[in-house]
Structure 1
Amino acid sequence: MHVPHHPAFPKAPRLPAASLPLALAIPLLLTACGQKPGEAGHGMMMPPTEVSIVTVTPKEVPIEFEYVGQIAGSREVEVRSRVSGLIEKRLFTEGNRIKAGQALYQIDPAPFAAQLAAAEADEAMAKARLAQAERDLTRLKPLIEAKATSQKEADDATSAVDIAKAALKAAEARRTAAKLDMDHAVVTAPMDGVIGKTLKEQGSLVSAQGDSLLATMAQTNPAHVQFGVAEAEQGRVQQELASGELKLADKGFNVKVLLSNGSVYRETGHLDFSDYKADPATGTYAARASLANPDGKLAPGQFVRVLLMGASRPAALVVPQRSVLEGPTGKYVYVVGKGKDGNPAAEPRPVVVGDWVRLDGEVKNGWVIKQGLKAGDQVIVDGVARIFMPGTPVKPVAAGAQSAPPAPAAKS
Structure 2
Amino acid sequence: MKAFVVTLVALAVLGPQIARAEGGFKVEPSMLTDWKTVYGQVEAKDSIPARARLGGTLVELSVTEGDLVEAGQELGRVVDAKIAFQINAIDAQIAALESQMANAERELTRGEELKSRGVITTQQLDALRTQAEVVSQQLEAQRASRQVTEQQATEGAVLAPVAGRVLEVPVAKGAVVMAGESIATIAGGGFFLRLSVPERFAGTMKEGDAISIDTAAGEISGKLAKIYPLIEGGRVNADVEVADLNSEFVGARVLVKLPLAARDAILVPAEMVKTHSGLDFVIVATAQGPMERAVVPGPMTKVNGQPMMEILSGLTGGEEVLAHEH
Q: Which amino acid aligns with 1:318?
A: I
Whether 1:215 and 2:166 are equivalent positions in the alignment is: no
* Structure 1 residues 89 and 342: alpha-carbon distance in aligned structure 2, compared to 1, 3 A threshold: closer
Whether 1:317 and 2:285 are equivalent positions in the alignment is: no
Q: Compute the displacement of 1:98 (Å).
A: 1.8
Match of 2:194 among 226, 235, 246: 226
Whether 1:276 and 2:229 are equivalent positions in the alignment is: yes
3-state SS, counterpart of residue 150 of structure 2? helix
Q: Compute the displacement of 1:58 (Å).
A: 3.7
Q: Which whole-Å deviations, capped at 9, do the CAs of 1:281-328 have from their partners, x for residues lacking one? A: 2x121111233458x55421101112457x995x84332496699xxx
Q: Compute the displacement of 1:357 (Å).
A: 4.5
Which residue pairs with 1:72 in the alignment? 43
Which residue pairs with 1:198 in the alignment? 169
Q: Distance in 2 between matches of 1:358 and 1:126?
A: 87
Match of 1:81 among 52, 57, 66: 52
Q: Compute the displacement of 1:232 (Å).
A: 1.3
* Structure 1 residues 196 and 59: alpha-carbon distance in aligned structure 2, compared to 1, 3 A threshold: closer
Structure 2 alignment gaps of length 5 or more: 1-23
Q: Distance in 2 between matches of 1:344 and 1:362?
A: 25
Q: Distance in 2 between matches of 1:318 and 1:139?
A: 112
Contact 2:213 / 2:254 at 8 angstroms: preserved in 1? yes
Whether 1:253 and 2:209 are equivalent positions in the alignment is: yes
Q: Compute the displacement of 1:70 (Å).
A: 0.6
Which residue pairs with 1:359 in the alignment? 303
Q: Which whole-Å deviations, capped at 9, do the CAs of 1:37-80 have from their partners, x for residues lacking one? A: xxxxxxxxxxxxxxxx8543144566655421111122112233
Q: Compute the displacement of 1:397 (Å).
A: 4.9
Q: Compute the displacement of 1:273 (Å).
A: 2.2
TM-score (norm 1): 0.54
Match of 1:106 among 77, 80, 86: 77
Which residue pairs with 1:115 in the alignment? 86
Q: Please tell me the root mean square deviation across aligned C-alpha atoms, in Å.
A: 4.9
Whether 1:264 and 2:219 are equivalent positions in the alignment is: yes
* Structure 1 residues 342 and 290: alpha-carbon distance in aligned structure 2, compared to 1, 3 A threshold: closer
Match of 1:188 among 152, 159, 174: 159
Whether 1:95 and 2:39 are equivalent positions in the alignment is: no
Q: Which whole-Å deviations, capped at 9, do the CAs of 1:244-301 have from their partners, x for residues lacking one? A: xxxx9xxx23444322x47235xx543332112312x2x121111233458x554211
Q: Which amino acid aligns with 1:257?
A: I
Whether 1:300 and 2:250 are equivalent positions in the alignment is: yes
Q: Compute the displacement of 1:189 (Å).
A: 2.1
3-state SS, counterpart of residue 181 of structure 1? helix
Q: Distance in 1 between matches of 2:70 and 2:76?
A: 14
Q: Which amino acid aligns with 2:195?
A: F
TM-score (norm 2): 0.65
Q: Compute the displacement of 1:226 (Å).
A: 0.4
Which residue pairs with 1:42 in the alignment? none
Q: Compute the displacement of 1:109 (Å).
A: 5.8
Contact 1:123 / 1:175 at 8 angstroms: preserved in 2? no
More strand by share: 2
Q: Which amino acid aligns with 1:218?
A: A
Q: Which whole-Å deviations, capped at 9, do the CAs of 1:199-227 have from their partners, x for residues lacking one? A: 32233222227xx33332222x6212100
Q: Distance in 1 between matches of 2:40 and 2:110?
A: 80
* Structure 1 residues 202 and 346: alpha-carbon distance in aligned structure 2, compared to 1, 3 A threshold: closer
* Structure 1 residues 253 and 346: alpha-carbon distance in aligned structure 2, compared to 1, 3 A threshold: closer
* Structure 1 residues 115 and 318: alpha-carbon distance in aligned structure 2, compared to 1, 3 A threshold: farther
Q: Which amino acid aligns with 2:235?
A: T
Q: Which amino acid aligns with 1:231?
A: E
Moved more, 88-97 or 58-67: 58-67
Q: Compute the displacement of 1:197 (Å).
A: 4.9
Whether 1:287 and 2:238 are equivalent positions in the alignment is: yes
* Structure 1 residues 343 and 289: alpha-carbon distance in aligned structure 2, compared to 1, 3 A threshold: closer
Q: Which amino acid aligns with 1:184?
A: E
Q: Which whole-Å deviations, capped at 9, do the CAs of 1:327-373 have from their partners, x for residues lacking one? A: xxxxx9989699xx999574768x9x8x974324287x54496x996
Q: Compute the displacement of 1:171 (Å).
A: 3.0
* Structure 1 residues 233 and 135: alpha-carbon distance in aligned structure 2, compared to 1, 3 A threshold: farther
Q: Distance in 2 between matches of 1:94 and 1:155?
A: 66
Contact 1:317 / 1:374 at 8 angstroms: preserved in 2? no
Q: Which amino acid aligns with 1:100?
A: A
Percent identity over the alignment is: 23
Q: Compute the displacement of 1:85 (Å).
A: 2.0
* Structure 1 residues 125 and 206: alpha-carbon distance in aligned structure 2, compared to 1, 3 A threshold: same
Q: Which amino acid aligns with 1:291?
A: V
